[in-house]
């Protein structure tokens, strides 16, 4: 019994003595624990301290804020500076300088500039644009993230689009009056789509009877609408109804489908959901032929109601 107690005390003393020993951080030769070992350590000797590792870690941490993404950004790269107008601003002086609807509008379209008249004239063969009853209507829907907020860009900055017929994207701060235009550029009617309007576009070479039919349907459905010629349409389907993120293209007017498209998508733009229209505000009207008339009220509380009578 005495021998077992003695062995236990000896072992306990040895463990305590070794655990309390303090080893200095430094090179291999400075560590006392390495004094009698002649072999190799893997991966590093005990208590080995490498200054180069700490330096490398600091350098790596400094680069963590740099994004290595090489693909496209939506809608634009973070931190990119641009001449963008913030709609929430109440600074009318800045807004007027940014886009007053009169100055520098030729960057998009100027109705007084004869060089821009090609936008609303037919230079093609009209027979190629005649209604074809064998061509079905085409509905295109784009995925637009719910949190997406399009840039609102001043007139000093060009706006280009990736889609041939854009239904969402950047636009000008000054909203156009609702109605029919000699020509309205997409930089303007995209703002109308954001406000929940339905935009009717037709190719200048399209059959006039089809244009008139769809125009009458739209004008009888809601106040907030835009009507304009556009060269963005094809001979196969020279008529189109646009809403925010959606497009219905036709060769022949399908009245029932057109009405359903209007009822399903009117007032669903990102601004149309959030605020009432301010009809007393200063609005863009360059090239306006006929201003829109109220159907029910200025907020279009009922859409295409006459179709249900």
Mean pLDDT of 139-168: 95
Query: Can you state the percent helix, strand and coil of the chain, rounding each to 5?
Result: 30, 15, 55
Mean pLDDT of 103-121: 96
Report yes or no on 35 lying in a domain: no
Query: CA–CA distance from 265 to each of 133, 178, 224 (Å)?
Result: 25, 17, 12
What pTM did the predictor assign? 0.71
Say what the pLDDT of residue 12 is: 53
User: What is the span of the domain harbouring residue 299?
Assistant: 89-307
**With pLDDT > 70 as the criterion, what percentage of the chain qualifies?**
68
Report yes or no on 194 lying in a domain: yes
pLDDT in tens, 16-71: 455 444 444 444 444 555 557 777 767 776 665 555 544 444 444 444 455 677 76
What is the SS3 assignment for 225?
Answer: strand
Instruction: Tell me how far apart the alpha carbons of residues 60 and 199 are, in angstroms, rounded to a whole number.
Output: 52
Please check the confidence at residue 309 and state whether its pLDDT lies above 70.
Answer: no
- What is the average pLDDT score of the chain? 82
Neighbours of 175 (CB within 10 A): 23
Report yes or no on 69 lying in a domain: no
What is the SS3 assignment for 145?
Answer: coil
Say what the pLDDT of residue 47 is: 63
Please check the confidence at residue 151 and state whether its pLDDT lies above 50.
Answer: yes
Count of domains for the chain: 1
Please check the confidence at residue 138 and state whether its pLDDT lies above 90.
Answer: yes
Report yes or no on 47 lying in a domain: no
**With pLDDT > 90 as the criterion, what percentage of the chain qualifies?**
61
Residue-wise burial string across 204-243, b where 16 or more C-beta atoms lie within 10 A, e elsewhere: bbbbeebbebbbebbbebbbbbbbbbbbebebebbbbbbb
Report yes or no on 80 lying in a domain: no
pLDDT in tens, 222-271: 999 999 999 999 999 999 999 999 999 999 999 999 999 999 999 999 88
Q: By the 8 A CB rule, do 55 and 62 touch?
A: no
Backbone angles phi, psi at 49, to 5 degrees: -120, 120
Backbone angles phi, psi at 28, to 5 degrees: -60, -40
Neighbours of 286 (CB within 10 A): 20
Say what the pLDDT of residue 11 is: 55
| Contacts (Cβ under 8 Å, ≥6 apart) of 24 | 30, 31, 32, 47
Report yes or no on 279 lying in a domain: yes
Say what the pLDDT of residue 275 is: 55
Report yes or no on 54 lying in a domain: no
Mean pLDDT of 127-134: 97
Say what the pLDDT of residue 105 is: 97
Report yes or no on 8 lying in a domain: no
Least trusted range by pLDDT, from 50-64, 74-88, 170-184, 190-204: 50-64
């Amino acid at each position: 019994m005495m021998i077992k107690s003695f062995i236990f005390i000896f072992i306990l003393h040895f463990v305590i003595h070794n655990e309390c020993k303090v080893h200095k951080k430094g090179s291999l030769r400075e560590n006392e624990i390495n004094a009698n070992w002649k072999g190799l350590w893997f991966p590093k000797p005990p208590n080995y301290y490498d200054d180069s590792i700490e330096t490398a870690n600091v350098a790596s941490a400094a680069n963590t804020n740099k994004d290595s993404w090489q693909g496209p950004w939506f809608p634009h790269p973070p931190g990119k500076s641009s001449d963008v107008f913030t709609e929430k601003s109440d600074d009318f002086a800045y807004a007027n300088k940014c886009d007053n609807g009169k100055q520098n509008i030729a960057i998009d379209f100027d109705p007084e500039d004869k060089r821009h008249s090609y936008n609303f004239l037919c230079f093609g063969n009209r027979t190629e644009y005649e209604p074809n009853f064998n061509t079905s209507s085409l509905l295109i829907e784009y995925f637009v993230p719910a949190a997406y907020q399009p840039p609102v860009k001043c007139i000093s900055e060009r706006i280009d689009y990736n889609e041939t017929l854009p239904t969402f994207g950047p636009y000008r701060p000054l909203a156009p009056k609702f109605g029919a235009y000699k020509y309205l550029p997409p930089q303007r009617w995209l703002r109308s789509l954001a406000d929940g309007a339905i935009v009717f576009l037709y190719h200048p070479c399209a059959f006039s009877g089809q244009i008139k039919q769809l125009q009458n349907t739209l004008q009888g459905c809601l106040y907030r609408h835009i009507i304009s010629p556009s060269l963005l349409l094809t001979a196969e389907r020279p008529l189109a109804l646009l809403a925010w993120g959606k497009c219905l293209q036709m060769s022949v007017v399908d009245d029932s489908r057109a009405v359903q498209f209007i009822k399903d998508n009117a007032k669903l733009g990102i601004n149309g959901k959030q605020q009432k229209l301010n009809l007393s505000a200063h609005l863009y009207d360059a090239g306006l032929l006929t201003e829109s008339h109220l159907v029910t009220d200025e907020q279009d509380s009922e859409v295409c109601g006459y179709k249900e009578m």
